[in-house]
């Protein structure tokens, strides 16, 4: 077994965060409509990015860069929807 350093632990925390967000969506679909889902995914991608800074891997970097961009877009949509909902322009939807 290899010795783990701080960067490996940070990367594993990012993986755990991203996987737990994905699992939560599978168990409770409405979680995807929450800002916490996108924030959690962005945080997980950032932690994995810190790990990649220490041990570079282009494929993992590209995957996490897109993961982070998609998470930022999800945060934008969530905030936009919540503002429209508060203004009364959008009715809550139960579609999943």
Cβ within 8 Å of residue 53, ≥6 positions away: 7
**Which of the residue ranges 4-8, 12-16, 59-63, 85-89 would you say has the lowest mean pLDDT?**
85-89
Given this model, what pLDDT does residue 96 score? 44
Q: Give the pLDDT band of residue 1 (cuts 50, 70, 90).
A: low
Return the pLDDT at 90: 65
Residue 95's pLDDT is 52
Going by pLDDT thresholds of 50, 70 and 90, the confidence category of residue 5 is very high
Q: Distance between CA 60 and CA 53 in Å, rounded?
A: 11
- In sequence order, which residues have a C-beta less than 8 Å from that of residue 92 and are 6 or more positions away? 85
Dihedral over alpha carbons 14, 16, 21, 22 (to 10 degrees): 110
List the single range of 12-16, 60-64, 81-85 with lowest mean pLDDT: 81-85
Task: Give the C-alpha separation, 85 to 49, whole Å.
Answer: 34
Instruction: Please say whether the beta carbons of 55 and 5 come within 8 A.
Output: no
Asked if residues 48 and 9 have their Cβ atoms less than 8 Å apart, the reply is: no
Of 69, 41, 62, 50, nearest in space to 5 by CA: 50
What average pLDDT is seen over the chain?
89
pLDDT tens per residue, range 29-66: 887 888 999 999 999 999 999 999 999 999 999 999 99
Question: Domain residue spans in the chain?
Answer: 6-86
């Amino acid at each position: 077994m290899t010795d783990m350093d701080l960067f490996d632990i940070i990367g594993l925390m990012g993986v755990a965060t991203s996987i737990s967000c994905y699992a939560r969506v599978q168990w409770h679909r409405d979680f995807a409509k929450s800002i916490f889902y996108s924030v959690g995914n962005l945080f997980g991608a950032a932690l994995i990015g810190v790990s990649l800074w220490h041990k570079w891997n282009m494929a993992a970097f590209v995957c996490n860069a897109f993961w982070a961009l998609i998470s930022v877009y999800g945060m934008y949509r969530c905030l936009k929807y919540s503002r429209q909902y508060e203004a009364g322009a959008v009715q809550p939807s139960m579609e999943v």
